[in-house]
Structures are given as structure tokens and as C-alpha cells.
Amino acid sequence: LASNRYDIQRGNFAKATQQDINYFKDILSSQSAVITDAEELIGSNTDWLRVVRGSGPVLLKPENTEQVSKIMQYCNNRNLAVVPQGGKTGLVGGGVPVFDEIILSTSRMNNVIDVDKISGTLVCQPGCILQELEDRLDSDNFILPYDLGARGSCHIGGNLSTNAGGIRLVRYGSLHGSVLGVEAVLADGTVLDCMSTCRKDNTGYDLKQLFIGSEGTLGIITKVAIALAQKPRAQCVALIGCNNFENVKQVFSSARKDLCEYLSACEFMDSKIMSLVENHLKLTNPVQTSSFYVLIEASGSSEQYCKTALLDFLETLIESKVIKEGIVADNSVQIKDVWALRERVLEACQHDGYVFKYDVSLPLRVFYNIVDDLRSRLGSQAKSIGGYGHIGDGNLHINITCEEYNKQLEKAIEPYIFEWIGKYKGSVSAEHGMGFIKRKYMNYSKSEAAYNTMKGIKQLLDPKRRMMDI
């Protein structure tokens, strides 16, 4: 349980009674929308990484905004704490209870409300699964302006709530730029309508932005409007081997210059990470063993240009001795295989043992130094130390594994790693959020004034702190 490992500050909240359960059954008018069976609740109480487990006594599955509003209003009157839950793929323990919060799942709020094919906008409920949205939009030649390896399970509401980054941010930017409208239910049940499908709206404060990346601390997202991107006609992917990190940086800056608007992803992984993927998942690395690997995706309107540009790009890099070797995948099976090497890193690390996960932003000039530094600091205390991530966004994932959870190792890593990041004005959470696990390290990336302003907003929207605290 979370309370065994973490210092849980449970507020003075009420505990759900049978009378409360009866009320929820009444308003949701379906037995299957109110789950109280202890066995069934284990999954909803446990996070994806299996490091946080709470004891939420009931899981609610409303279908619409009105039901969410009634639940929140009732819970406000009864002083019950609530945690919103999407696809439960979050990596910082945010989407599950840490004590006995009521779990409000968006899994049945999964309707697409409108796809406007002329303006290229989507309006939907928050529980739509990313992969299902991608499949549905495909025939109309649209894609969502973001994508991530958790697409098979994560919800669009969860994606907004965490301001998910993912593998295409280098091209389409963050959700703060592409979300057009949000409807949210506040902690007291008020429905805050910030829905719009217009790209431009400068009528005062842009309140919807508060819900993008606030991880369910201010309210529950119940509707989303988002600007879609055109599906590229052509896509090619290169996997490149590099001798050192300087060359990785050169590959990135050359890709921006040479591939220009065709560059749609720039990811990297080090040799440790590649060896975990090869050994634990039995995937095949198609290039010769190297210290680093870079995955470059090019996509756009011309199939002919896409492949030629990528091949020319590789040739120039080989000629100038920046890279050792690279391969280009241009059919869908090969492309999927190359992407699997990168997208299944997390799964490979999970097979290696207990994983201490860090998701940081750092300036590229010192980007990988932190991994080398941690290797010399931790020595044989750790089983594997690997770096990978979205180098195109300056976002590094550092995974440190050991046989089982080890307090001493944790103490050797933290707060050292956060101090390191603070020194270079990086971010202690580039894309996964603060959740329950990382929120205590906010001060390494937020000034006192900024944090106090956040607390003021929290106080305004959730004065009883019945949703996750910040």
C-alpha cells in the first residue's frame, strides 16, 4: 500500500458509507457503473508501474457531464475525496487512490461528439482511447497532433490532464497549443464551460489551459475540442548508430536543417537501453552495436521526397563521419519494427527489475552528462542505468533498475538528481507530470512565487483539497 512506502497526508475527509454507495447507484442508474467488489477494485487502486496502491472503496463510471457534476456536488457536501482516472497509464502515481479516495473513471465517457472535416477539429468525451481515435480519424486523413506508446490504453482526457508530450511534439508542439476547448467539472460540481472549436479567442484569461497538465488537481475534464493535423501521405524512419553523444546532437541539428518540415520525430537511446530491449524483449537491432542510437522519422506530402531526403541525409552524415551506420525503413512493417525498439523501452526496463524512473528536461549542452554522472555515483548499487527519450524536445528519460525496491539506492539518487537538474534550470518532470510521487520535488523547478500562485489557484477551485493536492 502507498501508506507503507510514502508519507501520506490524508486530509480530514469522510469515508464512503453504504448510504453514499446507494446514492451513486441511484444517479448512475446502473449497477455496473458502481463497483465495490474488493477483487475488482485492486486494478483501479494500483498504478501502471505497480509502485502505488491505494484503498479506494468504490469505482464510479459516469456516462456524461451531468452525472459527473452530481457526483462531485454530492462528494463536496459529504466531504469525500475524489481521484479522476483515465486509462491508468500515468507514471507518477496520479490516477489511482493513495488512501481511500473515491475513484471516478472516464471509461464510459467515450463518445466522439463531432469531427469537422473542413476545419479539422474533433470534439469528444474524455474517455476516448487514443488508439481508437487514431483509427477512427484515419479514413478522413486526419491524425491527432500528438502520439505516445501508451496509445492502446490512455484516454484523451488523461492526455490533456498530464499535458502528454510523446513522440511527435517536435513537430506539432504541446497540447497547450492544439487544444481548442475544454469542459471541466470543478471540485464542487460546477460545470465550467470553456468549449470552443475556434483557433483564435483572446477574450481574457484562457482558463482551459489550467486543466491541461494539472493532473486532476483542479477538476475533471468532461469534454475536449482539439485541432487535428493532416495525415502525412508518406512516412519513413531511420535508425542510426552513433559513437558518442556529441554525434547524437549533430544528428539532431542536421535533421532539423536537412529534413526541415519533414522531420516528425527525433528520439534517442543509449546502448544500455538497447541491450535491455534486445535481451528482455528479443527484438532485433538492425544496425551494428553502437554507443547511441537515434531514430529519425520523416513524413510529409511527397513519398518520393520523403525517402530520398532521408537517404541523402544519412549519406551526408556517413561521409562526414558523424555516424557509423544507418538504415531506412519505408514500409509499414519495417517502420513498426523500428518504432517498437524505442516504444517498448519502458516494458523492457520493467523486465529488468524495480525501476526508479526520471523524466527530465535539460539543456542539450549538458543533457547526457547526468547519466554518466549517475553511473559513477551509483556504481554497482544499480543493476542498469540507461538514458533515452525525446531528444528533439530536450527531454531525457533516465531509468535506474535494481532487483527490488531499495531505499538506500533511492537515497543515493534523490535529491541528488533533482539538485543536478535544478542547477541547470531544467525540469524535474518534462512530460509525465508530478502526480503523487514527484510533487514533493516541485521546488527544484518552480520559483516560490510561481508555486504560491499555483496554491492560490488550487485554493480558489478546490478549497477543501478533496482532489489531489499540489
Q: Whose grid coordinates read 487544444?
A: 179
Q: Judged by CB, which is closer to ligand FAD: 263, or 328?
A: 263
Rounded to a whole number of angstroms, the minimum distance from the CB of residue 425 to ligand FAD is: 21
Rounded to a whole number of angstroms, the minimum distance from the CB of residue 52 to ligand FAD is: 11
| Interaction mask 333-362, ligand FAD, x per CB under 6 A | -------------x----------------
Chain positions contacting ligand MLT, by CB under 6 A: 149, 345-346, 359, 389, 397
Rounded to a whole number of angstroms, the minimum distance from the CB of residue 170 to ligand FAD is: 12
Q: Judged by CB, which is closer to ligand MLT: 56, or 392?
A: 392
| Residue 452 to residues 212, 308, 398, 442, 459, Cα–Cα distance (Å) | 19, 52, 29, 11, 10
State yes or no: residue 106 binds ligand FAD (CB under 6 A).
yes
Residue 107's binding partner, choosing from ligand MLT, ligand FAD, none, with beta-carbon cut-off 5 to 8 A by kind? Answer: none
| Cβ contacts of 186 within 8 Å, gap of 6 or more | 72, 192, 218, 219, 461, 462
Rounded to a whole number of angstroms, the minimum distance from the CB of residue 267 to ligand MLT is: 8
Rounded to a whole number of angstroms, the minimum distance from the CB of residue 452 to ligand FAD is: 22
Rounded to a whole number of angstroms, the minimum distance from the CB of residue 149 to ligand MLT is: 5
State yes or no: residue 220 binds ligand FAD (CB under 6 A).
yes
Rounded to a whole number of angstroms, the minimum distance from the CB of residue 359 to ligand MLT is: 6
Q: Among residues 137, 144, 148, 341, which is the contact residue for ligand FAD, using CB under 6 A?
A: 148
Q: Judged by CB, which is closer to ligand FAD: 413, or 461?
A: 461
Q: Which of residues 20-79 bind ligand FAD (CB under 6 A)?
A: 48
State yes or no: residue 95 binds ligand FAD (CB under 6 A).
yes
Helix (H, G, I), strand (E, B) or coil at 293: strand
Is residue 108 within 8 A of residue 62, CB to CB? The reply is yes
Rounded to a whole number of angstroms, the minimum distance from the CB of residue 103 to ligand FAD is: 9
Bridge partner residues of 357 (DSSP): 399
Determine the Cα–Cα distance for residues 305 and 181; give it in Å rounded to an integer. Answer: 36
Rounded to a whole number of angstroms, the minimum distance from the CB of residue 429 to ligand MLT is: 11
Is residue 36 within 8 A of residue 83, CB to CB? The reply is no
Residue 397's binding partner, choosing from ligand MLT, ligand FAD, none, with beta-carbon cut-off 5 to 8 A by kind? Answer: ligand MLT
Q: Judged by CB, which is closer to ligand FAD: 259, or 346?
A: 346
| Interaction mask 245-284, ligand FAD, x per CB under 6 A | ----------------------------------------
Residue 290's binding partner, choosing from ligand FAD, ligand MLT, none, with beta-carbon cut-off 5 to 8 A by kind? Answer: none
Is residue 71 within 8 A of residue 60, CB to CB? The reply is yes
| Cβ contacts of 416 within 8 Å, gap of 6 or more | 377
Instruction: Give the residue among 220, 204, 312 at the shortest CA–CA distance from 259.
Output: 312
- C-alpha cell recorded at residue 110: 467515450
Instruction: Give the residue among 134, 137, 179 at the shortest CA–CA distance from 161.
Output: 179
DSSP-derived secondary structure letter, 321: T
The total of other beta-carbon atoms located within 10 Å of residue 314's CB is 20
Determine the Cα–Cα distance for residues 61 and 25; give it in Å rounded to an integer. Answer: 10
Given its phi and psi angles, is residue 450 left (phi above 0), alpha (psi -120 to 50 degrees) or beta?
Answer: alpha
Identify residue 362 by its one-letter amino acid code: L
Binding residue count for ligand FAD, defined by CB under 6 A: 36
State yes or no: residue 182 binds ligand FAD (CB under 6 A).
no
| Interaction mask 418-457, ligand FAD, x per CB under 6 A | -------------xx--x----------------------
Residue 87's binding partner, choosing from ligand MLT, ligand FAD, none, with beta-carbon cut-off 5 to 8 A by kind? Answer: ligand FAD
Is residue 89 within 8 A of residue 131, CB to CB? The reply is no
Instruction: Give the residue among 436, 439, 401, 417 at the shortest CA–CA distance from 362.
Output: 417
**Alpha-carbon 385 to chain mean position:** 21
Q: Go through the chain and tell me how many residues it has.
A: 470
The total of other beta-carbon atoms located within 10 Å of residue 111's CB is 13
Q: Which of residues 152-171 bind ligand FAD (CB under 6 A)?
A: 154-155, 157-159, 161-162, 164-167
Instruction: Give the residue among 88, 32, 86 at the shortest CA–CA distance from 58.
Output: 32
Residue 345's binding partner, choosing from ligand FAD, ligand MLT, none, with beta-carbon cut-off 5 to 8 A by kind? Answer: ligand MLT
Q: Judged by CB, which is closer to ligand MLT: 364, or 454?
A: 364
Bridge partner residues of 268 (DSSP): 294, 389
Rounded to a whole number of angstroms, the minimum distance from the CB of residue 49 to ligand FAD is: 8
Query: Using CB under 6 A as the criterion, which residues of the chain lie in contact with ligand FAD when the complex forms?
Result: 48, 83-91, 94-95, 106, 126, 148-150, 154-155, 157-159, 161-162, 164-167, 215-216, 220-221, 346, 431-432, 435
